[in-house]
């Protein structure tokens, strides 16, 4: 007896767009109420929608995912989740970006063996690609810093009268609170900006 059909979507942050995965799901015979989506990192499986989905699925249900890395952040987690879903829950999985990973096909020993090999290779490739991306990002940031590129928010310009207030404060003529009031800043902000200002004048 055929079970329910589900789809799972994950984007790794709230800034990423889920449209590509969503459009792929809409082209399939999946009831809209059976499409689950998480917008957070895959660094762990504390993902509410994924947990709800796993609890709801039963033997002979079918799960669609766009790519293998939607199941986890690394090789081990992807394989663990695949085992839980296919072996413990008895769910079939279809990976849309890799037609070879369709557990409905090849239910015999050879088919299962080939599917497991493909899964392990793709899981490793997915993890390796993420590691390469992180390394390229780190190298790019290091190269940019070496060229003098500064990261982070551009500091706001100093308020009028900051230099005079700073000098009087440094000479001990006024307190930090008084200097901050003259500049229209909270005392903590004045002290913070004063430290940056001092470093820039010394460099």
- Residue 12 appears among annotated catalytic residues: yes
Catalytic residue among 12, 115, 188, 203: 12
DSSP codes of every residue in the chain: ----EEEEEEESSTTS--HHHHHHHHTSS--GGGEEEEES-SSSS--HHHHHHHHH--TT-EEEESSGGGG-SSHHHHHHHHHIIIIIS--EEEETT-TT-BTTS--SHHHHHHHHHHHHHHHHHHHHHHHHHHHHHHHHHHHHHHTT---SPPPPPPPTTHHHHHHHHHTTSS-HHHHHHHHT--HHHHHHHHHHHHHHHH-
Residues with a catalytic annotation lie at 12
């Amino acid at each position: 007896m055929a079970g329910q059909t589900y789809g799972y979507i994950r984007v790794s942050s709230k800034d990423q767009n889920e449209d590509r995965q969503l459009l792929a799901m809409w082209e399939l015979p999946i009831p809209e109420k059976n499409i689950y989506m998480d917008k957070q990192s895959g660094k762990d499986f504390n993902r509410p929608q994924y947990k709800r989905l796993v609890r709801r699925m039963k033997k002979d249900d079918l799960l669609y995912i766009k790519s293998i890395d939607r199941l986890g952040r690394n090789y081990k987690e992807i394989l663990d989740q695949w085992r839980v879903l296919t072996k413990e829950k008895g769910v079939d999985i279809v990976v849309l970006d890799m037609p070879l990973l369709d557990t409905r096909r090849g239910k015999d020993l050879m088919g299962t063996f080939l599917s497991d090999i493909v899964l392990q290779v793709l899981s490793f490739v997915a993890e390796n690609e993420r590691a390469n991306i992180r390394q390229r990002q780190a190298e790019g940031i290091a190269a940019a810093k070496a060229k003098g590129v500064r990261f982070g928010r551009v500091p706001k310009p100093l308020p009028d009268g900051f230099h005079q207030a700073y000098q009087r404060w440094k000479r001990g003529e006024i307190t930090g609170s008084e200097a901050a009031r003259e500049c229209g800043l909270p005392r903590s902000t004045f002290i913070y900006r004063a430290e940056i200002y001092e470093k820039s004048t010394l460099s």
